[in-house]
């Protein structure tokens, strides 16, 4: 695949940049946030709702889909886009991260990883070549190499072994991907844990292999934000400017804003928090379980798409454990994330990203403000609920 037709930068503003990816299923505006559709559905949302929030691309999980319903089955049904009724771009991960976090009795060997399915205990082998094959069967617009993601903290020797194994798998993935359907992209994944030297070595070697894009894996797993950002900066400096950079599993709105010199992000946070009664808004997080919302007639945000519903009603739905609470808050959160990304892109294009960043931080800092009650009780400054 010609590199120039996949990623086009349209503006830069300091380290931040905006542009677009061209995939077989359409354009992805960057910086992009990818909602996570683990089991071929963004939890609690219809695909048309995901799209209407301003989503260009979703992520789906190879590990889950290879086990159920199976990659060959999805291919026979016309591919993942048709299966999940999402005719727009899809990125699939390689399965490596979930093998490490969900599977039982996994055994990592140079050939690949064998593990027992968390669903039925059956023995499964995942090799770099099979991961590429599965992602081709699914029909992913962007595929990821198989990697070994090490939990932190870890000994240097373990980090080094996993990084080198991931590099060897990167090369095999690249080879297996040759001849893939025109227009599909394959990304390499930088590993190395929290060791900057290992990360630099990983990045350099991957760049030599000439992937269509580069992901930074194994971060946002609990380390402090400044540690994550330092490692991301170290790595990014070595990656070619003309290729997209994907910071995997990131993250909170705060992390995305801080790390926005990268082009792609994904996280389960907006939908998971939505299912647990927490809304992201431009004035920070709002926990709808909190009793202070019980009589509040205001919507989450007067400008929000779900202005038809009061906080009192959302509180009621969350307390009553009604599906509609999870549905409405998942949508509100995905919409908030995508509005944030749109704000970021517009600010970069206008050369005003630093103003945007400060303004956004100031709104988060201000926090949510409690309403005046009917009795005229003074509106108290609301801390994080």
- Give 1 or 312: the residue with its C-beta nearer to a copy of itself: 312
Return left, alpha or beta for 22; rule: phi > 0 is left, psi -120 to 50 is alpha, else beta.
Answer: beta
Is residue 309 a contact point for a copy of itself (CB under 8 A)?
yes
From 147, 263, 266, 296, active-site residue: 266
Is residue 76 a contact point for a copy of itself (CB under 8 A)?
yes
Which DSSP symbol is given to 8? E
Name the 3-class secondary structure at 90: strand
Which DSSP symbol is given to 369? B
Which residues from 42-61 bind a copy of itself, rule CB under 8 A? 43-46
Largest CA distance in the chain: 70
Phi–psi pair at 190, nearest 5 degrees? -75, 125
Phi–psi pair at 87, nearest 5 degrees? -85, 20
Least distance (Å) between residue 34 CB and a copy of itself:
18
Is residue 77 a contact point for a copy of itself (CB under 8 A)?
yes
Least distance (Å) between residue 251 CB and a copy of itself:
23
Is residue 323 a contact point for a copy of itself (CB under 8 A)?
yes
Q: Are strands 284-287 and 90-92 parallel, antiparallel or unpaired?
A: unpaired
**3-class secondary structure per residue, 10-52:** EEEECCEEEEEEEECCEEEEECEEEEECCCCCCCCCCHHHHHH
- Give 116 or 319: the residue with its C-beta nearer to a copy of itself: 319
Least distance (Å) between residue 330 CB and a copy of itself:
9
56 is catalytic: no
- Give 77 or 346: the residue with its C-beta nearer to a copy of itself: 77
Is residue 326 a contact point for a copy of itself (CB under 8 A)?
yes
266 is catalytic: yes
From 13, 56, 93, 141, active-site residue: 93
Burial zone of 96 (CB within 10 Å; 0-12 exposed, 13-18 middle, 19+ buried): buried
Please work out the total of residues on this chain that contact a copy of itself, with binding judged by CB under 8 A.
36
**Dist CA 219 CA 236 (whole Å):** 13
Are the C-beta atoms of residues 229 and 259 closer than 8 Å to each other?
yes
- Give 84 or 239: the residue with its C-beta nearer to a copy of itself: 84
- Give 226 or 375: the residue with its C-beta nearer to a copy of itself: 375
Are the C-beta atoms of residues 270 and 252 closer than 8 Å to each other?
no
Which residues from 230-269 bind a copy of itself, rule CB under 8 A? none
Least distance (Å) between residue 59 CB and a copy of itself:
16
Which one of 3-11, 75-83, 279-287, 363-371 is the stretch in contact with a copy of itself (CB under 8 A)?
75-83
- Beta strand residue intervals within 117-249, DSSP E: 123-126, 142-144, 185-190, 213-216, 245-247
Name the 3-class secondary structure at 381: strand
Dihedral (Cα; 329, 335, 339, 345), 10-degree rounding:
130
Is residue 291 a contact point for a copy of itself (CB under 8 A)?
no
**The binder of a copy of itself chosen from 297, 355, 369, 384 (CB under 8 A):** 297
Is residue 310 a contact point for a copy of itself (CB under 8 A)?
yes
Least distance (Å) between residue 38 CB and a copy of itself:
9
Q: Which residues bind a copy of itself (CB under 8 A)?
A: 39-41, 43-46, 68-69, 73, 76-78, 83-85, 294-295, 297, 308-310, 312-313, 315-317, 319-320, 322-324, 326-328, 374
Residues with a known catalytic role: 93, 266
């Amino acid at each position: 695949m010609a590199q120039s037709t996949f990623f086009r930068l349209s503006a830069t503003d300091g380290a931040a940049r905006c542009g677009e990816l061209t995939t077989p299923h359409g354009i992805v505006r960057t910086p992009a946030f990818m909602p996570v559709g683990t089991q071929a559905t963004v939890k609690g949302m219809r695909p048309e709702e995901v799209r209407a929030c301003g989503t260009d691309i979703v992520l789906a999980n190879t590990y889950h889909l290879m086990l159920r319903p199976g990659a060959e089955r999805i291919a026979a049904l016309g591919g993942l886009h048709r299966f999940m009724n999402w005719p727009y771009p899809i990125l699939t991960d390689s399965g490596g991260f979930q093998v490490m976090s969900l599977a039982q009795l996994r055994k990592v060997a140079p050939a690949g990883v064998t593990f027992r399915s968390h669903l039925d205990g059956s023995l499964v082998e995942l090799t770099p070549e099979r991961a590429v094959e599965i992602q081709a069967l699914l029909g992913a617009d962007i595929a990821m190499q198989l990697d070994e993601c090490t939990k932190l903290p870890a000994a240097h020797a373990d980090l080094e072994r996993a990084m080198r194994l991931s590099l060897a798998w990167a090369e095999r993935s690249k080879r297996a991907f040759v001849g893939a359907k025109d227009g599909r992209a394959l990304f390499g994944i930088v590993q190395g844990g929290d060791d900057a030297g290992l990360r630099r070595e990983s990045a350099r070697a991957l760049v030599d292999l000439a992937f269509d894009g580069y992901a930074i894996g194994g971060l946002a797993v609990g380390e402090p934000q400044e540690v994550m950002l330092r490692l991301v900066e170290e790595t990014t400096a070595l990656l070619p400017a003309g290729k997209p950079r994907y910071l995997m599993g990131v993250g909170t709105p705060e992390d995305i804003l801080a790390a926005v010199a990268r082009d792609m992000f994904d996280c389960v946070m907006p939908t998971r928090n939505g299912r647990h009664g927490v809304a992201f808004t431009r004035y920070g997080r709002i926990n709808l379980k909190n009793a202070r919302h019980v009589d509040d007639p205001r919507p989450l945000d007067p400008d929000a798409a779900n202005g038809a519903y009061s906080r009192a009603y959302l509180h009621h739905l969350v307390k009553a454990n009604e599906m509609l609470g999870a549905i409405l808050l998942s949508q509100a959160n995905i919409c908030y994330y995508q509005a944030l990304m749109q704000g970021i892109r517009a600010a970069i294009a206008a050369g005003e990203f630093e103003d945007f960043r400060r303004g956004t931080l100031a709104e988060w800092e201000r926090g949510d403000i409690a309403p005046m009650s009917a009795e005229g009780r003074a509106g108290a400054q609301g801390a994080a609920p």
